[in-house]
Amino acid sequence: MSTFALAWRSLGNRRGTALLTIAAIAVSVALLLGVQKMRTAARESFANTVSGVDLIVGARSGQLNLLLYSVFRVGDATANVSWSSYQKIAHHPDVEWTIPISLGDSHRGFRVLGTNNDYYAHYRHAGGRALGFAAGRGFEDLYDVVLGADVARELGYQLGSRVIVAHGLGDVSFTLHKDQPFRVVGILAPTGTPVDRTVHVPLEAITAIHLDWQGGTRAIGDVRNRDLTPDAITAFMVGMRSKVMTFTMQRAINEYRGEPLLAILPGVALTQLWGLVGIADTALMVIAAFVVFAGLLGMLTAILTSLNERRREMAILRSVGARPRHVFTLLIAEAGILAASGVLAGIALCYGLLIAAAPLLERRYGLVLPLTGLAPGDIALLAAIVFAGLAMGSIPAWRAYRNTLSDGLTLRI
């Protein structure tokens, strides 16, 4: 009988312990693979928070600061961009489209963004996906509002709900624009980006709700008959007709003499930002690796615990002609079978969970988990786990190797 077949039958005689050991390794491997898949998906989702945008333009400040407040709605702009400068750049022959952005107000802790319907036509995420409506439509009236998926869910809003915008960014504001309520006309589908936590209103509405404010009060009048063209906006996104002209346009904007402006490449800025926040991603992977190590320790403990009970078994094998190296190889083979079985079961468990959870994650958080095969890095990682199992199996194998034939035969039971 081959060593492998003998090891398989030996594990079959201890199937209860063997199955528990395999289950422990499988769960830890599934966790490790799941974290790896989630890390990859999160990194791609982060990098694709905004895609298809060639440049983001704002007042001159830092590259990350401009990215944070224009894309992630974090922080504030140091200054605004004049409407005349925006119009000059927007009508440049090399510019295909622009998306104006006006920030500064909030609703119950969610940022309010003033823009136009070009936002829904040109904004892309997740590698080119357009914004979709779960319900309703875009702007048609001055006081229309479109909610991100998280805003609608957490506040319980539906189409037709009334929304009061507050001045400032705090969760609680004493300066409410109660005289100009908005009506929910659209709810965006989940994207897994800051869009989900944003309240979108027409750009002209931002001007309308701030007309005639003096000393914390305003003179109420018919704002629809007023000129609602904004004097300035917070930032704007640019799509070029030709990608080749992106760097030329970036340099021209950064050297613009009309006012100090900054144009950034969103992909480059997102990569820099990921380098700052990616430490949590690495820490999660380290924790998963320790879980796998704990599973392998459980296997080692199970083999060591049973070793003393199997001393007579080893002695019988020696008495029928097995040499010490055969005993050593037997225990190594058992550890390899346990580790390999645990890895295979872990792969099956991981993909089963991914198939079950993928629709929920995409619907609820906008996180797309592509069900691709194992990457070369994943295969190398799993192979390392099997080799680690073999290495741990060498410890009880060495102990069995050192047991003498007489030690097994004279053992009292």
Q: Which residues contact 87 (CB under 8 A, 6 or more apart)?
A: none
CA–CA gap between residue 120 and residue 132 (Å, rounded)? 8
Alpha-carbon distance values, 271 to 32, 51, 329, 348 (Å): 24, 13, 49, 33
Tokens representing 128? 């080119």
What was the pLDDT predicted at 133? Answer: 95
Confidence of residue 33 (pLDDT cuts 50, 70, 90): confident
Strands 124-125 and 129-130: antiparallel
What was the pLDDT predicted at 295? Answer: 80
Query: With 0-12 CB in 10 A as exposed, 13-18 as middle and 19+ as buried, what is 85?
Result: buried
What was the pLDDT predicted at 192? Answer: 80
What was the pLDDT predicted at 170? Answer: 56
Confidence of residue 401 (pLDDT cuts 50, 70, 90): low
Of the listed ranges 181-195, 264-278, 316-330, 344-358, the one predicted with least confidence: 316-330
Residue 309 has φ and ψ, to the nearest 5°, of: -75, -20
The one-letter code for the residue type at 145 is: V
What was the pLDDT predicted at 134? Answer: 93
For residue 335, pLDDT over 60 is answered with yes
For residue 305, pLDDT over 60 is answered with yes
For residue 410, pLDDT over 60 is answered with no
Confidence of residue 214 (pLDDT cuts 50, 70, 90): very low
264-300 pLDDT, tens per residue?
999 888 888 877 766 776 777 788 788 888 888 877 7
Q: Which residues pair with 115 in a beta bridge?
A: 202
Q: Where are the beta strands (DSSP E) in 16-75?
A: 55-59
For residue 402, pLDDT over 80 is answered with no
What was the pLDDT predicted at 82? Answer: 96
* Mean per-residue pLDDT, 167-181: 66
Strands 198-202 and 110-115: parallel
What was the pLDDT predicted at 143? Answer: 93
What was the pLDDT predicted at 232? Answer: 94
Residue 62 has φ and ψ, to the nearest 5°, of: -95, 155
221-243 pLDDT, tens per residue?
567 778 889 999 999 999 999 99
* Mean per-residue pLDDT, 313-318: 66
Question: To which residue do tokens 């499988």 refer?
Answer: 26
Write down the mean pLDDT value for the chain: 82
Q: Where are the beta strands (DSSP E) in 9-160?
A: 55-59, 81-82, 95-107, 110-115, 124-125, 129-130, 133-136, 144-147
Alpha-carbon distance values, 113 to 199, 313, 349 (Å): 6, 75, 43
3-class state of residue 136 by DSSP? strand
CA–CA gap between residue 143 and residue 162 (Å, rounded)? 10
Q: Which residues contact 132 (CB under 8 A, 6 or more apart)?
A: 188, 189
Answer yes or no: pTM beyond 0.85: no
**Contact between residue 385 and residue 64 where contact means Cβ atoms under 8 Å apart:** no
Strands 144-147 and 182-188: parallel
What was the pLDDT predicted at 311? Answer: 63
Angle in degrees, 0-180, between the axes of helices 324-365 and 311-319, rounded to the nearest 10: 130
Question: To which residue do tokens 């741990």 refer?
Answer: 392
Confidence of residue 312 (pLDDT cuts 50, 70, 90): low
Confidence of residue 413 (pLDDT cuts 50, 70, 90): very low
What was the pLDDT predicted at 144? Answer: 95
**Contact between residue 233 and residue 81 where contact means Cβ atoms under 8 Å apart:** yes
What was the pLDDT predicted at 403? Answer: 61
Which of the two residues, 256 and 38, has the higher pLDDT score?
A: 256
Angular region, 61: left φ>0, alpha ψ -120 to 50, beta rest: beta
* Mean per-residue pLDDT, 90-98: 95
For residue 380, pLDDT over 90 is answered with no
Tokens representing 96? 């295909």
Of the listed ranges 51-55, 170-174, 195-199, 253-257, the one predicted with least confidence: 170-174
* Mean per-residue pLDDT, 386-411: 68
What was the pLDDT predicted at 48? Answer: 73
Angular region, 175: left φ>0, alpha ψ -120 to 50, beta rest: beta
**Contact between residue 263 and residue 56 where contact means Cβ atoms under 8 Å apart:** yes
CA–CA gap between residue 346 and residue 330 (Å, rounded)? 24
Confidence of residue 93 (pLDDT cuts 50, 70, 90): very high
101-158 pLDDT, tens per residue?
999 899 988 999 999 999 999 999 877 889 999 999 999 999 999 999 999 999 999 9
Segments making up each domain of the chain, as ranges: 3-46+279-409, 55-264
> Length of the chain, please?
413
3-class state of residue 112 by DSSP? strand
